[in-house]
């Protein structure tokens, strides 16, 4: 019963860039599109859609007027930083950031109007941006904006955000900390690691209590341990919460070859996560599954992981099966020493969170 899957992409995304030596390189989005075309994925079940940029009114769903004006001004100047040194203010970054957000809004409209069941915007997933400031390469929080957009335009009440980026989805958590929007983030956590938040004890406040769910993982966490934690926490909470739509931040910087993070996932995890999320979307959320990108700083790996995810979700089998199979990593045989520690974390988290959801 799988419907159409949209690949939402515009060349405008390529302007969301911070210079040739910066780790964040939007060309990975174009290369993913190119590889999917090479694999002959696009047909009646998988379609490309080109978004328009978001408007200032859309940004105001989440961000303050002052902050939006600041980004505009800095974008015209094209010098300095939008934060304390991670996110440069390059020329035209405002318009480029609007195109990223526009991708999410088109994805949401396509899903909600029934044109597609699933949609992927590889430029989205900028989960560190706060209401009134940029952070960690993220200018506007497209995840939070599309959540507000779905509330406002489609009257959705139960929206779940599952964030698998190697870093904590701190901006998204902060924006919805007091609201019953289910946010689950799996990420590396440890002394000195960016952004420093995302401990188990951050569970939300007021009506949001129990709706911020953090799975902090130690350096070196590999497929087996990661998937154990994912499967113990994510499906039970989604099944209980019954979201009307599933949003999945699909940053792939937890991959073992990523230069910035230090988790040890292979393509196997990304295939399993996308198939589990896809099944959950059909079982619980009427198939409505919106996927956004996120981190990923080894371009070739990002392209492989996103392509595997898109193929898995769309259900379209690539004609060149050998080329597709070559995208997968070999299995890592090394022993993973993190399982016991992660089991403890998962048990602690279950004790805190599951009673709040009567699981």
Active site residues: 128
In whole angstroms, the minimum distance from the beta carbon of 285 to Zn ion comes to: 11
Tell how strand 182-188 and strand 289-292 pair up. unpaired
| Positive or negative torsion for Cα 104, 270, 1, 233 | negative
Can you say how many angstroms the Cα of residue 12 is from the centroid of all Cα atoms in its chain?
Answer: 19
Q: How many residues bind Zn ion (CB under 5 A)?
A: 7
In whole angstroms, the minimum distance from the beta carbon of 33 to Zn ion comes to: 20
In whole angstroms, the minimum distance from the beta carbon of 209 to Zn ion comes to: 26
In whole angstroms, the minimum distance from the beta carbon of 165 to Zn ion comes to: 4
Residue 253, interface with Zn ion (CB under 5 A)? yes
Contact 188, 167 (CB under 8 A): yes
Residue 2, interface with Zn ion (CB under 5 A)? yes
Among 109, 165, 170, 258, binds Zn ion (CB under 5 A): 165
Exposed/middle/buried for residue 43 (C-beta within 10 Å: 0-12, 13-18, 19+): exposed
Which residues, 38 to 67, sit near Zn ion by CB under 5 A? none
Measured from the CB atom, the residue of 210 and 251 that comes closer to Zn ion is 251
Q: Which stretch binds Zn ion (CB under 5 A): 82-90, 158-166, 177-185, 228-236?
A: 158-166
- The alpha carbon torsion through 218, 245, 57, 113 (nearest 10 deg) reads 150
Tell how strand 289-292 and strand 118-121 pair up. parallel
Measured from the CB atom, the residue of 26 and 166 that comes closer to Zn ion is 166
In the chain the first and final C-alpha atoms are separated, in Å, by 29
Among 47, 128, 148, 167, binds Zn ion (CB under 5 A): 167
In whole angstroms, the minimum distance from the beta carbon of 296 to Zn ion comes to: 8
Q: How far apart are CA 75 and CA 95, in angstroms?
A: 8
Measured from the CB atom, the residue of 200 and 254 that comes closer to Zn ion is 254
Q: How far apart are CA 68 and CA 57, in angstroms?
A: 10
| Positive or negative torsion for Cα 53, 44, 268, 158 | positive
Strand blocks (E) in 165-227: 182-188, 212-217
Measured from the CB atom, the residue of 233 and 281 that comes closer to Zn ion is 281
Q: Which two tokens stand for residue 331?
A: 């299995």
Q: Which stretch binds Zn ion (CB under 5 A): 25-33, 144-152, 167-175, 269-277?
A: 167-175
Measured from the CB atom, the residue of 180 and 195 that comes closer to Zn ion is 195
Q: Which two tokens stand for residue 175?
A: 């924006």
Residue 262, interface with Zn ion (CB under 5 A)? no
Among 102, 122, 171, 295, binds Zn ion (CB under 5 A): 295
Q: Which stretch binds Zn ion (CB under 5 A): 46-54, 92-100, 204-212, 248-256?
A: 248-256
Instruction: For residue 185, list its beta bridge partners.
Output: 163, 214
Measured from the CB atom, the residue of 194 and 324 that comes closer to Zn ion is 194
Q: How far apart are CA 57 and CA 76, in angstroms?
A: 20
In whole angstroms, the minimum distance from the beta carbon of 3 to Zn ion comes to: 6
Which residues, 183 to 242, sit near Zn ion by CB under 5 A? none
Phi, psi of 180 (to 5 degrees): -80, 50
Which stretches of the chain bind Zn ion, using CB under 5 A? Answer: 2, 165-167, 251, 253, 295
């Amino acid at each position: 019963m799988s419907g159409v899957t949209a690949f939402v992409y515009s060349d405008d995304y390529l302007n969301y860039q911070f210079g040739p030596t910066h780790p964040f390189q939007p060309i990975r989005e174009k290369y993913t599109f190119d590889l999917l075309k090479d694999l002959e994925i696009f047909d009646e079940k998988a379609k490309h859609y080109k978004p328009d940029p978001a408007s200032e009114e859309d940004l105001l769903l989440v961000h303050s007027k002052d902050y939006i004006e600041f980004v505009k001004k800095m974008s015209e100047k094209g010098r300095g930083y939008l934060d304390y040194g991670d996110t440069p203010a390059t020329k035209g970054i405002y318009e480029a950031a609007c195109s990223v957000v526009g991708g999410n809004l088109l994805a949401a409209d396509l899903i909600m109007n029934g044109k597609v069941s699933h949609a992927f915007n590889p430029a989205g997933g900028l989960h560190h941006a706060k209401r009134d400031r940029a952070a960690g390469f993220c200018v506007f929080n497209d995840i939070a904006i599309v959540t507000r957009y779905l509330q406002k335009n489609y009257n959705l009440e139960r929206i779940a955000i599952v964030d698998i980026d190697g870093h904590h989805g701190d901006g998204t958590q902060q924006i919805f900390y007091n609201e019953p929007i289910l946010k689950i983030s799996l990420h590396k956590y440890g002394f000195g690691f960016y952004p420093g938040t995302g401990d188990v004890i951050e569970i939300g406040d007021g009506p949001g209590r129990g709706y911020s769910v953090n799975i902090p993982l130690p350096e070196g966490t590999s497929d087996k341990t990661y998937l154990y934690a994912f499967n113990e926490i994510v499906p039970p909470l989604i099944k209980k919460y019954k979201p009307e739509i599933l949003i999945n931040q699909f940053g792939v910087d937890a991959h073992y070859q990523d230069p910035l993070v230090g988790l040890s996932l292979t393509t196997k995890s990304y295939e399993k996560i996308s198939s589990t999320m896809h099944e959950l979307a059909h079982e619980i959320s009427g198939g409505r599954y919106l996927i956004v990108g996120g981190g990923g700083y080894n371009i070739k790996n990002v392209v492989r992981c996103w392509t595997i995810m898109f193929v898995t979700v769309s259900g379209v089998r690539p004609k060149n099966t050998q080329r597709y199979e070559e995208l997968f990593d070999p299995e890592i045989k090394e022993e993973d020493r993190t399982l016991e520690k992660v089991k403890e974390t998962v048990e602690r988290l279950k004790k805190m969170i599951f009673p709040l959801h009567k699981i």
